[in-house]
Amino acid sequence: MIVKDNISLKYNKLTPEEENVIVNKMTEPQFSGQYDDFFQEGTYVCRRCNTPLYRSTAKFHSGCGWPSFDQEIGRAVKRIADGDGVRIEIRCAACGAHLGHVFLGEGFTEKNTRHCVNSLSLKFIPKK
């Protein structure tokens, strides 16, 4: 548990693979994630803290091997300059979990934005 802005955040227990991606900022192997080719209605939440991050309506098939979204929910995703000096890292704004990277100007959707997210950083909640 961590306290942020006087609010206690309880984290979900992570597998070693999930911790490598979420905490150690690793990347799951391309085309290996359960949500890469997954298109059901619902919401994708942070695997670490359950904060809603993306709606299924923002998901699209980019062919890159990881789930792709062109818009986050509100201010749920924080953008940070990556250590490589080239890419933009994306993290859960609530708990800081590493999600992946965001790319601009590729032309996949009208929003011209691709959030390239590790499946291990997400949990899917189906629409009821």
Say which DSSP state 106 is in. -
Contact 11, 4 (CB under 8 A): no
* Residue 50 near residue 14, CB atoms below 8 Å: no
Q: How many Å apart are CA 118 and CA 64, to the nearest integer? A: 11
In angstroms, what CA-CA distances link 39 with 8, 21, 95? 33, 22, 26
Catalytic residues: 116
